[in-house]
Amino acid sequence: MTSIRPLVAGNWKMNGIDSSLAELGALREQLAEAPVAEADVMVCPPATLLSRAVEILAGTDIALGGQDCHPLPSGAHTGDISAEMLADAGATAVIVGHSERRIDHGENDALVKAKALAAYRADLTAIICIGETEAERRDGETLDVLKRQIQGSVPEEARAANTVMAYEPVWAIGSGLTPTLDDVAKVHGFIREVLGRLLGQAESEATRILYGGSVKPTNAAELLFVPDVNGALVGGASLKTTDFYGILAVYRDGAGG
């Protein structure tokens, strides 16, 4: 299997106003002083901050992403944002199917797939999130749920070049809890296997599968070196540059470093 360049993506969720952009300036400076050449970096701020973030990060390799998009390019959909609008504002990727969208807004797999297709239409990378709830895990349904979500949310058009998968156990998001390293390895291996059946082995083996859920500088060196983990989707710890950079730096310092 070819080695996959990892990606650490920060999801600011519904956090961030103009003054929060200082964190991006600090990230820019930190990476200029002590680069982490071993991984790609992305920040997904609220859409309201995207264009200002573009200015702050100009000339760096730090990519910007949106947190959600509507399936259509434009139209009478008050409050929604299209993939084309995100691209126009400077994003190169968009998160789709985050569990907070699936739960808070009742988004199902078909809608998530339509959003991923919208991302491709706008030349954005789709970061497709999947993950089981605590009840599903307790009932031993984790792998069934993930298989159903992959089959329902990942378009046939998905390729390693336009798609990143993110495994985010819902019970681990913002809770401080994480699965065991064995469970992470088992689940990521399973996701790659299911993707292989859907997209072919070559695409599956080149696709990044991020882990998300309570990743912090203190556990990143363990979680991010589990087989088949190709980076992290980071929520809370992406809001402070010291924490986010601390996660990213494990790729320079190595496992256990």
DSSP string, 111-152: HHHHHHHHHHHTTPEEEEEE---HHHHHTT-HHHHHHHHHHH
| CB-count burial class (<10 Å; 0-12, 13-18, 19+) for 66 | buried
Pick from 210, 215, 223, 250: which binds ligand PEP (CB under 6 A)? 215
Residue 176 or 257: which CB sits closer to ligand PEP?
Answer: 176
Binding mask 219-238 for ligand PEP (x = CB under 6 A): --------------xxxxx-
- Select the span of 78-86, 151-159, 167-175, 186-194 touching ligand PEP (CB under 6 A): 167-175
- 105 in active site: no
Find the shortest distance in angstroms from Cβ 241 to ligand PEP: 15
Give the C-alpha separation, 219 to 178, whole Å: 9
How many angstroms separate the CA atoms of 171 and 65, rounded?
24
CB of 50 to ligand PEP, least distance (A): 18
Name the pairing type of β-strands 93-96 and 208-212.
unpaired
Q: Closest separation between CB of residue 103 and ligand PEP, Å?
A: 11
For 29, other C-beta atoms within 10 Å of its C-beta total 11
- Whether the Cβ atoms of residue 25 and residue 45 lie closer than 8 Å to each other: no
User: By rule CB under 6 A, what count of residues binds ligand PEP?
Assistant: 13
Query: Could you tell me which of 166, 16, 161, 6 has the C-alpha nearest to residue 92?
Result: 161
Determine which one of 70, 98, 100, 132 is catalytic. Answer: 98
82 forms beta bridges with 70
CB of 156 to ligand PEP, least distance (A): 26
Q: Name which of 100 and 136 has its Cβ closer to ligand PEP.
A: 100
Any catalytic annotation for residue 77? no
Q: Which residues bind ligand PEP (CB under 6 A)?
A: 11, 168, 173-174, 212-215, 233-237
Q: Among all residues, which ones are annotated catalytic?
A: 98, 168
